[in-house]
Amino acid sequence: MQIKLPYVSREWSRTKWRYRFQRAGVKSTLPGEPGQPDFMRRYAELMGEPVQPRTVAVDGSISWLVGLYLEHVQMMVESGLSSHLTLKGHRHHLGRLVDAHGKKSVDMRTAHLLGFLDKFAATPSGRDNLKKSVSAMYEWAIKREYVTCPNPAKGISKLKPRTAGFYTCTADDVRKYLEHHGPGTMARRCMIVVLATVARREDLRNLGPSNEFERDGQTWLRWTQSKAPHDVTEIPMLALLTDEVRDCETETYVTNDKGKPHSHAMIGNVVQKWFAAANVRGSLHGVRKGVPSILTAMGATSYELDVLLGHKTGSKETKTYVEAARRSEIAAQMSLKMEGIKF
C-alpha cells in the first residue's frame, strides 16, 4: 500500500514521520506524505520533472487513502498507542476494499459502499468488521482533510444479530475440565493461568516468568494490556498459580508441543479442543466471562471486577456479568420460596 519513491527516505521526528529527499548532494524535507499534492509537486521539482496534474490513480484514489491510513496505524503501533492486532485487522479488511475499488476515487457514496458490503452478507461478522474499518479510515481522513466527502459508512447498520455471546463457563464446568486434565498437563496449566489472571487471549499467550516481580516478599505479575487503552496490570500471584508454574523454564507459561508460544488464533482453538476432550462446554473467553460471575456471587463489586478484567470503570461488559449473576441468585432464592407455598 505504501508509495515508495526513489531517493526518498522516512525518519521519525519527535511526534511524526517526515520524508527526506537526497540525490546528488541535493537534500530537502518534503511536505506532507507521499501521494499528497504538495508532496508530489515538490518531489517532481526536485527530480527535475514536469509537475503532473492531480490524478485519481496516484492522489485521491482509494488505494492512496488506504496506504496513508495503514501507515498511520503502523506508526500508532510503533508508538505503543495501538495494537498490532488492530493493524492486522485493518490490513485484511481494507485490502478487500482495495482489491475491488482501489483505482476508484475516495469520494465513495454510501450506496456504493453498501453494495460492496452486501457481497459479504453471508458472513455477518466479517462484513461488520469490514464496515468498521472503512468507517474508521474515513473518519481519520475527514479530520485531516484528505477527503471532502461524508463518511460513506455512517448510517449503515450492522448485520450481526444481537445474541447472548459466548457461553459463560460455570464453576462446575471448570471442575470437570480440571478433573479430566490432571497435573502436569498444559491444558491444566492454561486453565489455572486464566483463572488466576483473567487475562485476555493475546495477553495470556505472552505471560511468562519475565512478567514476575517481587513486592513486599510476595511474587506479583505485571503486564501491559494488548488492548486499548493499554493499561499496565499488576496482580499478586495466587498460590495455585505459583505452584503450577514454579518449574517453568520456557519463555511463556502456556506453550505448544515445541515449547513455543501459541499464535493469537491458535490458542483459542487449542483450548476449545481441550474442553471437547473433557466433554465440557466452554471456551477461553467463556472462562474469562465465568470467573467474574462466580466472584460476583461471592460478593465482588463491579469496581473490583473492572480492575480485575482490565475494563474501564463502569463498563457495560462488567455490568452484564454482574446482572447475570444477580439474576441467577434471585432465581435460586425464588425457587426456595416457591417450595414453601402450599397449593
Report the percent of the chain where pLDDT is more than 70: 77
Q: For position 336, what pLDDT does the model report?
A: 44
Q: Is the pLDDT of residue 2 over 70?
A: no
**Mean pLDDT for all residues in the chain:** 80
Which strand ranges, in their side-by-side order, compose the sheet holding 26-30? 8-13, 16-23, 26-30
- Under the banding of pLDDT at 50, 70 and 90, the label for residue 13 is confident
pLDDT, average across residues 130-141: 95
Q: What pLDDT shows up at residue 130?
A: 94
Buried b / exposed e along 296-314 (16+ C-beta atoms within 10 A): beeebebeebbebbbbeee
Residues 240 and 252: their CA atoms lie apart, in Å, by 17
Model confidence at 332: pLDDT above 80? no
Measured at the CA of 153, the angle between CA 152 and CA 157, to 5 degrees, comes to: 135
Give the span between the Cα atoms of 43 and 41, in whole angstroms.
5
pLDDT at site 117? 93
Query: C-alpha cell of 23?
Result: 540525490
Nearest to 146 by CA among 91, 107, 97, 113: 107
First to last CA, the chain: 74
Q: How far is 200 from 268, CA to CA, in rounded Å?
A: 11
Give the H/E segment covering residue 250: none
Residues 227 and 240: beta-carbon distance below 8 Å: no
- 140 or 79: which leads in pLDDT: 140
Number of H helices, E strands in the chain: 13, 6
User: Structural domain boundaries of the chain?
Assistant: 8-143, 171-335
Q: What is the pTM of this model?
A: 0.54
Q: Which of 120-124, 142-146, 308-312 shows the lowest per-residue confidence on average (mean pLDDT)?
A: 308-312
CA angle 90, 95, 96 (to 5 degrees): 110
Per residue in 160-199, pLDDT tens?
665 556 788 888 888 899 999 999 999 999 999 988 888 8
| pLDDT of 136 above 90 | yes
Answer for the pair 322, 305: CB distance below 8 angstroms, yes or no: yes
Residue 270 grid coordinates: 487449542
pLDDT, tens only, 297-310? 656 666 666 655 55
Quick: pLDDT tens for 73-104. Answer: 888 887 777 887 888 899 999 999 988 998 88
Top-confidence residue, 250 or 51: 250
Q: Could you tell me which residues come within 8 angstroms of residue 174 by beta carbon, excluding any fewer than 6 positions away?
A: 191, 195, 287, 290
pLDDT confidence of residue 339: 43
What CATH number has the domain spanning 171-335? 1.10.443.10
Residues 27-52 have a mean pLDDT of 75
- Residue of 248, 254, 255 whose CA lies nearest to 192: 254
pLDDT tens profile 246-292: 889 999 999 998 989 988 878 889 999 999 999 999 888 888 877 77
Q: Cβ atoms within 10 A of the Cβ of 96, count? A: 16
| φ/ψ (deg, to 5) at 147 | -130, 155
